[in-house]
Amino acid sequence: MAGPILIVEDKDSLRTMLRHALEAEGHAVVEAADEAEARRQLASARADLVLSDLRLPQGDGFGVLRAAKEADPDLPVIVMTAFGGIQDAVEAMKQGAVDFLAKPVDPDHLLLLVDRALAQRRMAANYVLLKEEVASRRAPLIVGDDPRLRQVMSQLLRAAGSDATVLLEGESGTGKELFARTLHVLSPRADGPFVAINCAAIPETLLESELFGHEKGAFTGATARKLGKFEVAHRGTIFLDEIGDLPLGLQAKILRALEGRQFERVGGNSVVQVDVRLVAASNKNLKASVASRQFREDLYFRLSVFPITIPPLRDRVGDISILARHFIERFCRDLKKKTLELSPDAEKALRAYPWPGNVRELQNCIERAVILAEGPRLEPRHLNLSYRAPQLGAPPAQPAPSDPWGSFDLNGTLAQVTRRAIAEVEKLKLARAMEEAAGNKVRAAEILQIGYKALTGKLREHGLEKN
């Protein structure tokens, strides 16, 4: 559904004529008689085109033009002027108007200019969407043939046809954003934007502005109006990853935005209407968070209209080889190398590894291995797997002197060994990320693709927090 055309004209008779001409062609119309009213309409109506007189009793068309560009730099503006004001119309075009219309207004010429401006706007929007679609379709979104994966895909297909909120649950690295993108592509909103935001990766002080935008002067450094992710996702899908890390205050605002499809920008008073489909994801048990009062129960029920749980990679052992070969082909193509063969020993090593980081860890492992491989086959030595769970009934292997796990205790049950090993892998990754980020925690969180709060908690847990 297209946005309305905003007519800014102080003469009632001309404004009525313009409205009738546009509505007869199927366009929605909103009206304003002066600059102040035009600014109010721009703040809430999400117009697709502005048609404004340059001479207004309060303010002028140049102020409307500036307000339109502040609301949306790509919003087309057509200015109207009497014959003697052609010089002003030319100046307006220098400041960003797409065209001008001389008075008295010819309805046929009006519709021609309107159709041309709207077509240019659609072309610009479609170009952005086309680039995103091409980027997302470089490889299949979902790879695998495990029955659990097929069940998830079946659930996605059933959910895609509605506007119901979907909650994707699963461990970090299982590919929740890929499933969210697939849901978007399968939905009637596929032609709209897909906007993703990691709620855990942004400091709390900035998160509200990222989600809902802010007005100029709302806080120190707010030098211009900024549209939030909810506005950018209008008529499309917004994906809120790690929603379990949202502070309680923001949880309430998101609930209101979902139920009323409206919100106010930070520092603003105008209500902004949006039409978005929400897909949320969390690697936390939100039911447990509700029980511990860390997550709002009403928001949880609103989010979990259609819950889908994505299985961890260790529960999809049959897909490990399929994914590995898919990544080998992809990275060999990117590196312009001849496609490597996955040796039987390397495949066995991959299937024996517990993959605490799930598909993301496998992808990183294969990318590194493809870079290191010098022959026609990818061998175990290229994988550099830090830990492989011992087989039941087999004595624990003795590490070589150069093994980084040489001092690691392999006594205990398999479950205990696995937990300790995963903890050590996690500690090593944290240390490496902090080293790569030169001690910058925000950067380290981005490298690990986890939230800032989650990072600081893990650093304390493993004794890596520096005072």
Over residues 32-50, the pLDDT tens digits come to: 999 999 999 998 878 899 9
Q: Report how far residue 22's alpha carbon sits from residue 214's, in angstroms, rounded to the nearest whole number.
A: 32
Say if residues 156 and 181 touch (Cβ distance below 8 Å): no
With 0-12 CB in 10 A as exposed, 13-18 as middle and 19+ as buried, what is 418? middle
DSSP 8-state symbol, 214: B
Domain covering 148-311 in this structure, CATH number:
3.40.50.300
> Residue 312, SS3?
coil
**Global confidence as pTM:** 0.57
What single letter denotes the amino acid at residue 363? Answer: Q
The single residue listed with the structure tokens 């193509």 is: 333
What does the pLDDT read at residue 2?
A: 66
What single letter denotes the amino acid at residue 449? Answer: Q
Query: Could you state, in order of their start, the residue ranges of all structural domains in the chain?
Result: 5-131, 148-311, 313-385, 405-467
Domain 5-131 shares a fold with domain 148-311: yes
Task: Give every residue of the chain whose pLDDT is below 70, as ranges.
Answer: 1-2, 83-85, 123-141, 386-425, 449, 466-467
The fold of the 313-385 domain, in CATH, is Helicase, Ruva Protein; domain 3 (1.10.8)
- The pLDDT tens digits of the residues spanning 163-175 come to 899 999 999 999 9
Rounded to a whole number, what is the distance in angstroms from the first to the last CA of the chain?
54
> Domain 5-131 class?
alpha beta
Q: Report how far residue 304's alpha carbon sits from residue 306's, in angstroms, rounded to the nearest whole number.
A: 5
Half-sphere exposure of 429 (CA within 13 A, CB side): 21
What does the pLDDT read at residue 134?
A: 38
> Residue 347, SS3?
helix
- CATH match for 405-467 among 3.40.50.2000, 1.10.3720.10, 3.20.20.70, 1.10.10.60: 1.10.10.60
Say if residues 114 and 21 touch (Cβ distance below 8 Å): no
